[in-house]
Amino acid sequence: MGIPQPPAPDLLQGLRRLVNDVKCTESTEHNGLSGISCGSTSLISFADDSVQYAGIPVTELAADGSFERVICLLLNGSLPLDEVMGDVEALLSDAAVVDRGVVEIVSQLPFGARPLNLLPLSISLLSFFDPTPHDNNPAATRSRVFRLLAQLPVVIAFALDAREPTHASEHPELSWSGRLLHILRGQQTVPTPVEDEAVNRLMICECLTSMRPAGFAGRFAASTVDHVPTSLLHASSLFVTQLRNDPFQWSADVLRGLRGPRSAEAWWIRREGAPMPFGFSARSSDPRPEILAGACGQLLGSYDRIVVESSARRLERLLAEKELFPNTEWMAARLMTLLDIPADRQSLLVAFARLVGWAAQAIEQSKFGHSLLPDLQYEGLTTTD
């Protein structure tokens, strides 16, 4: 047998190029983090017929009707005792004081500024007056979140209507969520007990979602800097950017423009089969839309509300024929419209609810200590054999 000849240089070079092309294709197909698990969470879980927050079914939490209890559950990991709830409610009331400098700044904002844009700005301003900026132990972090929840509605009230909100002592029957509703409605009418209960259910249902960009932004910040207000600033800023074409405002404008079931059907026909851009999806086992639908049914105390509710129900039946069903966001918009929240302020209420969830996620991520910073492939680098 003859001695085997080595492959020709051109053939070796071609094989190397082929291998490099295959490797390049494989790496390109896996660019990004989509579909990659970045950790685990005990804050929210999805079963076949329920959604749970920290192991407790959301149906039970909504039936109790106290968003303050859910705040404690998410930040502390367990429901508070009744005697502790008194301290929490007192903190949310007593800490509702902001520095005059913050008020002067927001009072100079241009008239007609988008309400949702006020949230990250207010978080940033309040961080300058944080009494314990360098104390990041768990207890101090939770206290800082409670202070923000107490102070942010005060700042928002000045920015929206140029006046200080009524103090909790003037309406002791209102919950924290009820006082926020009072502010967003311009402090014209004090929420009734039924409205107070409805807005609490809304906040409970909207505070936690599956992983979305704003929630990931908060967790990412928490994995790199041990400072929850920074995480909230990142999450709220991304939430504001995502909602630059505000779907909650769009939904509220649609509902207020309908004058009854026939009007809803005519509006749907005019769309000529165009899908709803927001709020409807295939049927799921998430109980939160039904919880909010029940709250809507308790608010039919005026002709205008009956018109909105009947129009919404007719529209939902039409969409059900297309196998599309309302999700939590649509039902939240429907409920907020019945609660007489101006259309351009509804996403701000949702952001306040999500703020609690973002804070809980940031605290959880900090506790894990896992960095979410991925690697980046840099083009132009060459290796030699």
pLDDT surpassing 60 at residue 138: yes
pLDDT surpassing 60 at residue 27: no
Q: Report residue 87: phi and psi, to 5°.
A: -65, -40
pLDDT above 90 covers a percentage of the chain that reads 65
Q: Which residue has the higher pLDDT, 4 or 284?
A: 284
Contacts of residue 132, defined as CB under 8 A and 6 or more positions apart, other chains included, come to: 140, 143, 144
pLDDT surpassing 60 at residue 323: yes
Q: What is the pLDDT of residue 70?
A: 97
Q: What is the pLDDT of residue 32?
A: 77
Mean pLDDT, range 241-270, rounded to an integer = 95
Q: Are 116 and 243 in contact (CB under 8 A)?
A: yes
Mean pLDDT, range 330-341, rounded to an integer = 98
Query: Which one of 264-273, 354-363, 366-375 scores highest in mean pLDDT?
Result: 354-363
pLDDT surpassing 80 at residue 7: no
Q: Which two tokens stand for residue 251?
A: 């939904």
**Which of the four pLDDT bands, split at 50, 70 and 90, describes residue 267?**
very high
Query: Sign of the C-alpha dihedral, residues 193, 44, 208, 298?
Result: negative
pLDDT, tens digit, 9 for 90 and up, residues 87-119: 888 889 889 999 999 999 998 888 888 999 999
Mean pLDDT of the residues in the chain: 89
Q: What is the pLDDT of residue 84?
A: 86
Q: What is the pLDDT of residue 35?
A: 77
Domain boundaries, the chain: 44-249+335-368
Q: Which residue has the higher pLDDT, 385 or 43?
A: 43
pLDDT surpassing 80 at residue 20: no
Buried b (16+ CB within 10 A) or exposed e, 94-127: ebbebeeebbebbeeeeeeeebbbbbbbbbebbb
Mean pLDDT, range 29-48, rounded to an integer = 81
**Which of the four pLDDT bands, split at 50, 70 and 90, describes residue 197?**
very high
Mean pLDDT, range 65-80, rounded to an integer = 94
Q: What is the DSSP string of 190-226?
A: PPPHHHHHHHHHHHHHHS--SS-HHHHHHHHHHHH-S
CATH architecture assignment, domain 44-249+335-368: Orthogonal Bundle (1.10)
pLDDT surpassing 70 at residue 378: yes
pLDDT surpassing 80 at residue 8: no
Q: What is the pLDDT of residue 162?
A: 79
